[in-house]
Amino acid sequence: MTITDAPAETRPAHHRRRIPRTVLTWLLVTPAAIWFLVRAFGFEQGRGVQLIAFTPYVAAWALIPALLALIVRRWAAAAVAVLTAFGLAMCVLPRALPDVGRGPAQGVEVRVMTANLLFGGADPDAVVRLVRDNDVAILAFQELTEPAQAALTAAGLDRLLPHREVGAEPGASGSGLYSRYPITDAGTERTGAGFLQSHATVRVPGATPVLVESAHPLAPAVPASIPGWSSDLRQEPPADPDGLPRILLGDFNATLDHKLLRNLIKTGYRDAAATLGSGLIGTWGPYDGDLIPPVTIDHVLADERIGIQDLSVHDVTGSDHRAVIAALTLPEQS
C-alpha cells in the first residue's frame, strides 16, 4: 500500500517552525511601522523628540524587514513592511530631490551664512575665511561668547561685515547677527527657554528690506528640556505675506522630521537645503569627535518671495556644527 499523506506527527513540527519565524518577522516589521506613524502624524514625545531626528536612517533600514518578510512569505507582515518603507521614503526622499519651486531667480543676490560656535570655541580664522571666500554678506551666530566676539574682530570679521547686532553671553545662549549692509530695528531677544536671538532689518542696496533673525531654540538634550524646546520653536516668527520678507538662519535643534519645524515652514518659508535637494547633508553630530550619526538641524529658512539659488555646508574647526551658506535672491525694491 502506498502512503500519500505525510505522517501526522510531522504536521505539528512544521507548524511549530512557522510560529517563531512569523513572530520574528513581526518583531522586525513593527518598530519601523510605529516609527512611521509617529513621524507621519507628529506624535513625537519625550525621548521620541530626540529619536525622530534619525528618521532618514530608519527609512533606509526599513527596506530590510520588508525584504525579509517577502522572502519568508509572511504576506501580512510583508504588506505592512512595504507600506512602511514606502511611507518613510515619502517622508525623507523629497528633501534629497531638487524642487522645481525655488522662488524667483531675478532680483538681488545675497549670500547668507549661519554658524554655531560651540560655546564660542570655533576657530575664528576659519570662520572669517569662510565669510571672505564665499562672499557672505549676512552672518548669523549661535553660542557667541564675548571672547569669541573679540577673537572674530581680531581675525577681521568687522572689516568684512561692519554692521552688527550682538548678544554675546557665556555658555550656549549667546547670539549675533553681522551684515555687510546697513541694519535698522536691530535687537536681541531672549526665548522663553533662555537663549538669545539677534535680529534686524537688513537693507541691501536695490532690494526690498528683509528681516533676518539668528534662530536658536533650546536643544531637546534631556526630557526636562523638551517643553522649552517645543515652546521656543512655536515662538519662532512665522512668515508674513503682508509684511517684509523674512529669513531665519540658525541652529533650530530640529530636523525636517520634527512636526514643529514643518509647521513653521508651512507658514510661508522654504528650507533652502531641501529646496535644492541637499536636505540630507548633516550639519551636527560627529564633527567634534562625538560618535553621533549626522543629522540636519542647522537651516536657512527663506520667505517664499525669496529665491533659493545655491547652498553649501562647511566644516568649522572647533565646533560640533557645520556652517551653512546659501545664495538667495531678494525681491527688487519697487
Q: How many CB atoms sit inside 10 A of residue 125's CB? A: 14
Give the pLDDT score at 290.
87
Domain stop point among 95, 130, 148: 95
pLDDT tens digits along 89-136: 999 999 999 998 899 999 999 999 999 999 999 999 999 999 999 999
62 φ, ψ (degrees, to nearest 5): -60, -20
- Spatial strand order of the sheet with 175-179 comes to 163-167, 175-179, 138-142, 108-116, 322-330, 307-315
Same domain, 31 and 140: no
Q: Residue 94's Cα: distance from chain center in Å? A: 14
Closest CA to 110 of 248, 200, 204, 209: 204
In what helix (H) or strand (E) does residue 303 lie, and over which residues does it extend? strand 298-303
The reply to whether 119 and 90 lie within a common domain is no
Indicate whether 57 and 127 sit together in one domain: no
User: Is residue 321 domain-shared with residue 262, that is, in the same domain?
Assistant: yes
Lowest mean pLDDT among 1-5, 13-17, 222-226, 285-289: 1-5
Higher pLDDT, 2 or 240: 240
The residue among 54, 74, 95 that closes a domain is 95
Quick: pLDDT tens for 26-49: 999 999 999 999 999 999 999 999
Residue 288 has pLDDT above 50, yes or no: yes
Stretch 204-233: mean pLDDT = 97
- Residue 1 located in a structural domain: no
Transcribe 233-260 into DSSP letters. Answer: HHHSPPP-TTS--EEEEEE-S--TTSHH
- Do 16 and 146 fall into the same domain? no
Over residues 142-161, the pLDDT tens digits come to 999 999 999 999 999 999 99
Buried b (16+ CB within 10 A) or exposed e, 35-52: bbebbeeeebeeeebbeb
- 23 lies in a domain? yes
Is the same domain home to 85 and 201?
Answer: no
What's the predicted TM-score (pTM) here?
0.92
Q: What is the pLDDT of residue 1?
A: 44
Mean pLDDT, the chain, whole residue set: 94
CATH code for the domain in which residue 200 is found: 3.60.10.10
| Ranges 12-26, 132-146, 189-203, 312-326: which has the least confidence | 12-26
Helices assigned H by DSSP within the chain: 10-41, 47-51, 55-61, 63-71, 75-92, 124-133, 146-154, 157-160, 226-235, 259-266, 272-275
Domain-embedded: residue 45: yes
Of 113, 145, 118, the residue nearest 130 (C-alpha)? 113
The per-residue pLDDT for 100 is 83
Does residue 4 belong to any structural domain of this protein?
A: no
pLDDT reading at 9 higher than 60: no
* Residue 17 pLDDT greater than 70, yes or no: no
Residue 53 is assigned to a structural domain of this protein: yes
What are the backbone dihedrals phi and psi of residue 214, each rounded to the nearest 5 degrees, phi first? -90, 105
Claim to verify: residue 108 and residue 57 sit in the same structural domain: no
Q: Do residue 78 and residue 120 come from a single domain?
A: no
Domains contained in the chain, number = 2
Is 3 within the bounds of a domain?
no
Tell me what percent of the residues of the chain surpass a pLDDT of 70.
95
Distance CA 265, CA 215 (A): 13
Does 18 lie in the same domain as 121? no
270 against 291, higher pLDDT = 270
Inside any domain, residue 2: no
pLDDT for 163-211, tens place per residue? 999 999 999 999 999 999 999 999 999 999 999 999 999 999 999 999 9
Q: Which domain holds residue 223?
A: 103-330
Amino acid symbol at 166? V
pLDDT at 227: 97
pLDDT band at residue 15 using 50, 70 and 90 as cut-offs: low
Residue 85 has pLDDT above 70, yes or no: yes
Q: Which of 74, 95, 116 is the last residue of a domain?
A: 95
